[in-house]
Amino acid sequence: MTFNDIFTSNFLDNFTSVSILDMVIALVLALCIGVFIFFIYKKTFTGVMYSSSFSVTLVALTMISTLVILAVSSNVVLSLGMVGALSIVRFRTAIKEPLDIAFLFWAIAAGIVLAAGMIPLAILGSLVIGGMLLVFVNRKTNDKPYLLVLTCTDETVESQAHQLISEGVVKSAIKGKTVNDSSIELNYEVRLRKEDTTFLGSLKALAGMRQVILVSYNGDYLG
């Protein structure tokens, strides 16, 4: 084959460039791994609102990546055209959860590895990644953060409340303070001692304490 033959394209020749058996095996395995990624995402989702369309997208991405790499690996001209076509694509969908990025790259990488013929790597790698995510994402921890919101009348009550919070929780840090003409609003991030919330009653009993609110907080959203 000469250098010019590489860039000579014949439609009928391309028809048999990838065998039917290779296509079927690659796409079926891509579907299986995509469904596996789908279930791992569903089991490890910790965001505010679960998106079923994003889950299906992970399956589709795995199969699409496999399809693209199968085509590119069989034709140099097509690979150059594919690079040019993908370079003008702009994705505007915002990724709200950092972990979603890992799932997107996982789906794409699994499809690429499958199409490259590295089937054991794709299967074993997906099993290891899925197991790691199940262990670490679903790992329970006692050091769960909470957001404590207090509304009091003056700085004297604020000082008393700060003392009670320090004694009633394992760890606390003030995240915000708003001072109005008639009230002070304080936002604390606290770590409870064995889920003990009895100190909230002591806070509410303070003279001048108007409101005490405790909500679950993971650093990104309230729940």
Whether 168 shows a pLDDT value over 80: the answer reads: yes
Whether 83 shows a pLDDT value over 70: the answer reads: no
Which amino acid is residue 95, in one-letter code? Answer: I
The pLDDT, as a whole number, for residue 23 is 85
Q: Which residue would you say has higher pLDDT here, 62 or 20?
A: 62
Q: What is the pTM of this model?
A: 0.63
Report pLDDT digits (tens) over 128-139: 999 999 888 876
The pLDDT, as a whole number, for residue 92 is 63
Count of beta carbons in the 10 Å neighbourhood of residue 167? 10
Whether 221 shows a pLDDT value over 50: the answer reads: no
Domain 145-216 adopts which CATH fold?
Answer: Alpha-Beta Plaits (3.30.70)
Q: 121: Cβ–Cβ under 8 A, 6 or more apart, which residues?
A: 113
Q: Are 34 and 58 in contact (CB under 8 A)?
A: yes
Whether 211 shows a pLDDT value over 50: the answer reads: yes
The pLDDT, as a whole number, for residue 171 is 87
How far is Cα 112 from Cα 106, in angstroms, rounded to an integer? 10
Task: Break the chain into its structural domains and give their ranges.
Answer: 3-137, 145-216
Whether 143 shows a pLDDT value over 50: the answer reads: yes
